[in-house]
Amino acid sequence: MPKRDVILLPRNKRILAGLGENIKLARLRRKLSGEQVAERAGISRTTLISIEKGHEGVSIGSYLNVLYVMGLEKDFLNIGKDDDLGRKLQDANLMIRERAPKRS
C-alpha cells in the first residue's frame, strides 16, 4: 500500500507547529534530553525531532507516547471536551415530544 502524504491547511500547520513547540518546551522544563524521551517513548530520536517541529507525518500514537513520558497524557483527554458549538448544534436538534393524550 503506497504511503500518502498528509496535506494540511497553513493554519493547521501552525497549530501543529505550536503543539510541537509546546512539547519541546515541556521536555526542556523537565530537563530531559531528546534521547531519553525518545527511548522511553519507544521512538527514534528523529521521530522526536519531527514531533517537536510539528511534522504532520508522525502518528498520533507517537505524540501520545511522548506526552505520556512527560506525564502530560491526560491533556489529550481535554481535546474536544468543552465543545460549545457541538453542544449548541446538538441542543438545536433536540425534539421535544408531546405526550399522547391519556385514554379515558
Question: Hey, how many other C-beta atoms are within 10 angstroms of the C-beta on 9?
Answer: 8
* 41, part of any domain: yes
> How many C-alpha atoms does 76 have within 13 Å on its Cβ side?
15
Q: What is the pLDDT of residues 69-82, one digit of tens each?
A: 999 999 888 887 77
Range of the domain at 41: 10-79
Alpha helices by DSSP H, 10-53: 10-29, 34-41, 45-53
What span, in angstroms and rounded, lies between the C-alpha atoms of 27 and 37? 8
Please give the tally of structural domains in the chain.
Answer: 1
Question: Hey, how many other C-beta atoms are within 10 angstroms of the C-beta on 20?
Answer: 21
Q: What is the pTM of this model?
A: 0.77
* 98, part of any domain: no
**Does position 55 have pLDDT exceeding 70, yes or no?**
yes
